[in-house]
């Protein structure tokens, strides 16, 4: 059952922006578990067409992101786990952020962008 509020462009854009930022985050493993759970909540809200739940999950995801100051001696932080990155990428596409797809792939493959990529990497013209 959808909440009374439909998903509007602003809610979609906000969710896409946070999901795109997520690939840059470095968090403690327990925080990544929480992020992954919230990404699941976002997916559920999208599937139900519940704009209010989408906004709430987006706000919660923003608050779960990295803090500006890290205490000395706190546990180590790691980049986004592959599973969470893949789920977030899928959601970006589902939310209508398909034009962001190449940027996601570039970010994911940034360390391996040598000549002769996976298929048509050589000679792909820029638009």
> Would you kindly state where each structural domain of the chain is located, as residue ranges?
12-66+76-99
Average pLDDT over residues 110-124: 44
pLDDT at 50: 96
pLDDT at 100: 39
State the chain's mean pLDDT as an integer: 79
In the predicted model, is pLDDT for residue 35 greater than 70? yes
In the predicted model, is pLDDT for residue 120 greater than 50? no
| Residues belonging to the chain | 127
pLDDT tens-digit series, residues 73-82: 666 889 999 9
**Residue 87, token pair as written in the block:** 């789920």
- Are 22 and 63 in contact by the 8 Å Cβ rule? The answer is no
Distance of CA 52 to the CA centre of its chain: 19
Question: How crowded is the C-beta side of 51, counted as CA atoms within 13 Å?
Answer: 10
User: CA 46 to CA 11: how far, in whole Å?
Assistant: 10
User: CA 67 to CA 119: how far, in whole Å?
Assistant: 39
């Amino acid at each position: 059952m959808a909440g009374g509020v439909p998903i509007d462009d602003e809610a979609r854009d906000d969710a896409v922006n946070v999901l795109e930022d997520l690939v840059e985050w470095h968090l403690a493993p327990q925080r990544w578990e929480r992020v992954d759970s919230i990404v699941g909540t976002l997916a559920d809200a999208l599937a139900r067409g519940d704009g209010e739940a989408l906004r709430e999950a987006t706000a919660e995801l923003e608050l779960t992101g990295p803090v500006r100051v890290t205490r000395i001696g706190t546990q180590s932080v790691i980049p986004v786990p592959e599973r969470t990155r893949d789920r977030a990428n899928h959601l970006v596409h589902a939310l209508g952020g398909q034009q962001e797809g190449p940027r996601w792939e570039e970010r994911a493959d940034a360390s391996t962008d040598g000549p002769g990529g996976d298929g048509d990497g050589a000679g792909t013209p820029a638009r």
